[in-house]
Chains A and B, each alone.
Chain A
């Protein structure tokens, strides 16, 4: 089975972000970057399928500036076989632009399975996987939290709001990975060494003109400071009174 996984390099979210001087980009100083968690789970899923089948090849693809090669190497050190870097000065916000460039690359690869993360935390948009599927004309199941593949067919579970869907599909297919599918392995020292020698091809990304442009970035207003109503069950009547008279939610 030939499997491709699209991975994105994203900043660690556990910080207070600063807006850059242009007002339309982030100040990246001091930010730590790593592979998107959802994409790490997608890589893990690909590796598990390959290991179970005892054969196959896992290709990792990332679009962005040269630094995204680090992200590709991380996936290689987990066990993926080869990398493709689609080189761009910066990652555009417009997911459709990204999807078109990835789809061009993926169409040429004759993959049985193409995996994406459900969403990247920086764009918080969650669109690239299903867009690529449509551009490739391949069926797609989004936000899966379980996966079985056998004899060219698969089954998966999707998480909805307070509900789940059981899905059947044929291959080739595009899947986007939700939390709960697996736990990503850490690269072993041996894996890290091996990754240095694995093939990583770099070529320019074909980027179309974006149709969505960032006009402004700003920090959201702080929520007004909270108030402790009291301690223990004795505070309950006062809370209920506030919910009725002040918040008016009762």
Chain B
């Protein structure tokens, strides 16, 4: 029997979907190792405490809430020290984080403070005697490694979207806690968080990602991609490096080896050739659709469904058809 810790990622006063995935993963691990408790940590500004029931709903026996006016923006030092202190005192078998920009920032710091290793971008895990065995892509996903972690706690950051948040209601006893360090006194401060646009979906979490490439010809033509995303209603917009290099879209939209990693239910590549470096960021998407005028474009090799032709003709038609299909629901 072993207790498992989950770091529940937040943005503002909301729990991110990856946060519920972390709780779900922790629940699986606790149940898989003889039925321990899941302790979930929630850090954020006033208002975050109200979200504790969501963590309980997904399997947390205890929800540790650190609510502080100084946590409106992410504070790495507060997050790392508060989390590490809690894990030290809790005696956990494993600690689960998310492989997002924030998770990649906080998890290695926590592990270093605990004096243990960490594996990020975990695809699956298993308890095997004294070791926790995980699968992790190396060489930008061209090779899959099976790794045995002997450290206690085993610190894992899960790849977003490989475990769906599952309801499994537990008591979710709330423990209020204070930040280990004063958020006003840290050496690094986030002065501003700029979110893409009102109501814009987050690339790491969106169930549908529409990505545009150089085939769109100009920045203003991303309107086509945005309209398609809008028709879906649950889609985020991404881009290739060719596009972010040309300044058509911000770097935070870039998907691929050097950009962000996405794994949505549906990925639609619009005017994208399918260079290996791009595929590295999206090849684990469940369904891939490609629209490209070149029938030999490499993207068609990994696309489940492809349409050969001009994006300027096909994308508006697809947008109209999706709007129509959504109306039926």
The answer to whether B252 touches A162 (Cβ under 8 A) is yes
**B250: A residues at CB distance < 8 A:** 159, 164
Given A95-B108, A125-B120, A212-B151, 18 other A-B residues pairs in contact with their CB atoms under 8 A: A13-B277, A38-B258, A122-B139, A124-B140, A125-B119, A127-B108, A127-B118, A130-B108, A133-B112, A162-B195, A166-B194, A212-B150, A213-B150, A218-B143, A223-B283, A223-B288, A223-B304, A229-B306
B259 within 8 A of A: yes
The answer to whether A158 touches B141 (Cβ under 8 A) is no
The answer to whether B313 touches A164 (Cβ under 8 A) is no
Instruction: Tell me how far the C-beta of A214 lies from the nearest C-beta in chain B, rounded to whole angstroms.
Output: 6
Count residues of chain B with CB under 8 A from any CB of chain A: 101
Specify which of B111, B192, B318 is in contact with A166 (CB 8 Å cutoff). B192
Instruction: Tell me how far the C-beta of A38 lies from the nearest C-beta in chain B, rounded to whole angstroms.
Output: 7
The answer to whether B121 touches A230 (Cβ under 8 A) is no
Specify which of B104, B119, B143, B258 is in contact with A37 (CB 8 Å cutoff). B258
Give Cα distance in the complex from A172 to B252, angstroms: 27
Give Cα distance in the complex from A180 to B253, angstroms: 12
- Which residues 269-311 of B have a CB within 8 angstroms of A? 276-277, 280, 283, 286-290, 295, 300-310
- Which residues 105-134 of A have a CB within 8 angstroms of B? 121-134
Known: A13-B257, A162-B201, A228-B306. A167 touches B117 (CB 8 A): no
The answer to whether A239 touches B289 (Cβ under 8 A) is yes
Specify which of B119, B144, B236 is in contact with A217 (CB 8 Å cutoff). B144
6 cross-chain pairs, A with B, having the tightest CB-CB distances, nearest first = A134-B112, A127-B108, A233-B317, A211-B151, A180-B251, A139-B187
Give Cα distance in the complex from A223 to B302, angstroms: 6
B147 within 8 A of A: yes
**Chain A interface category by residue count:** 35 or more
**B290: A residues at CB distance < 8 A:** 226
Specify which of A129, A215, A231 is in contact with B308 (CB 8 Å cutoff). A231
Most central of B104, B113, B302 by chain A CB within 10 Å: B104
Closest B residue by C-beta to A171: B187
B190 within 8 A of A: yes
Binds A, one of B33-41, B70-78, B210-218: B70-78
Binds A, one of B49-57, B59-67, B130-138: B130-138
Instruction: Tell me how far the C-beta of A228 lies from the nearest C-beta in chain B, rounded to whole angstroms.
Output: 5
Instruction: Tell me how far the C-beta of B310 lies from the nearest C-beta in chain A, rounded to whole angstroms.
Output: 7
Give Cα distance in the complex from A228 to B143, angstroms: 27
Known: A94-B117, A95-B108, A160-B102. A179 touches B254 (CB 8 A): yes
Give Cα distance in the complex from A141 to B100, angstroms: 15
B127 within 8 A of A: no
The answer to whether A236 touches B321 (Cβ under 8 A) is yes
**A225: B residues at CB distance < 8 A:** 301
Give Cα distance in the complex from A224 to B192, angstroms: 44
Closest B residue by C-beta to A143: B101
B221 within 8 A of A: no
Known: A158-B101, A228-B306. A217 touches B118 (CB 8 A): no
27 contacts between A and B (CB under 8 A): A96-B118, A127-B104, A143-B101, A158-B101, A159-B260, A161-B205, A161-B260, A162-B253, A163-B11, A163-B193, A163-B194, A165-B192, A167-B190, A168-B189, A168-B191, A215-B147, A216-B145, A220-B142, A220-B143, A226-B305, A236-B318, A236-B321, A237-B321, A239-B318, A239-B321, A243-B305, A249-B265
The answer to whether B113 touches A124 (Cβ under 8 A) is no
The answer to whether B287 touches A249 (Cβ under 8 A) is yes
The answer to whether A170 touches B187 (Cβ under 8 A) is yes
**B301: A residues at CB distance < 8 A:** 225-226
The answer to whether B143 touches A141 (Cβ under 8 A) is no
The answer to whether A163 touches B252 (Cβ under 8 A) is yes
Closest B residue by C-beta to A19: B143
